[in-house]
Amino acid sequence: MSDTPLLLTLIVPHELEEAVADTLLAHPELTTGFSSTSTEGHGSSIQLVEAAELVCGHVHRKRLDTVCSDQAKADAILALLRQAFAGANLYYWIVPVLAHGRLA
């Protein structure tokens, strides 16, 4: 496996946002932190359930981004979330990170 850092992005239903964040925070060996932003899901694969979603045509979600040091860490996070939130409507993607760090 490559030691290229990866960006793991999770798209989380709003009702699971705190539980997923708490799960990640409980495992500092997997991630040192993450960013979260509000986002909206659009498209034919999105299930609109609530009345407001049906009217607006999109769903509200939380996006969590974390930089993983390697594929093994990203896989471990996904395995943890699969176990903790089996059957939940969590969506994810992983992309390589060309560079990251702090500006001083």
Q: Identify residue 28 by its one-letter amino acid code.
A: P
3-state class (DSSP) for residue 27:
coil
Closest CA to 14 of 40, 34, 33, 35: 40
Q: 27-81 pLDDT, tens per residue?
A: 999 998 999 999 776 655 555 455 455 445 557 789 999 999 999 999 999 999 9
Residue 48 and residue 59 in contact, taking contact as beta carbons nearer than 8 Å: yes
3-state class (DSSP) for residue 65:
strand
pLDDT at 11 over 70: yes
What residue segments make up the domains of the chain, in order of their start?
A: 6-96
pLDDT at 51: 45
Question: Does the domain made of 6-96 have the CATH classification 3.20.20.140?
Answer: no
Q: 85-101 pLDDT, tens per residue?
A: 998 889 999 999 999 98
Residues in the chain: 104
The token duo for 57 is 């045509």
Question: What is the DSSP code (8-state) at residue 56?
Answer: H
Which strands form 35-41's sheet, in the order they lie side by side?
Answer: 35-41, 59-68, 6-13, 91-96
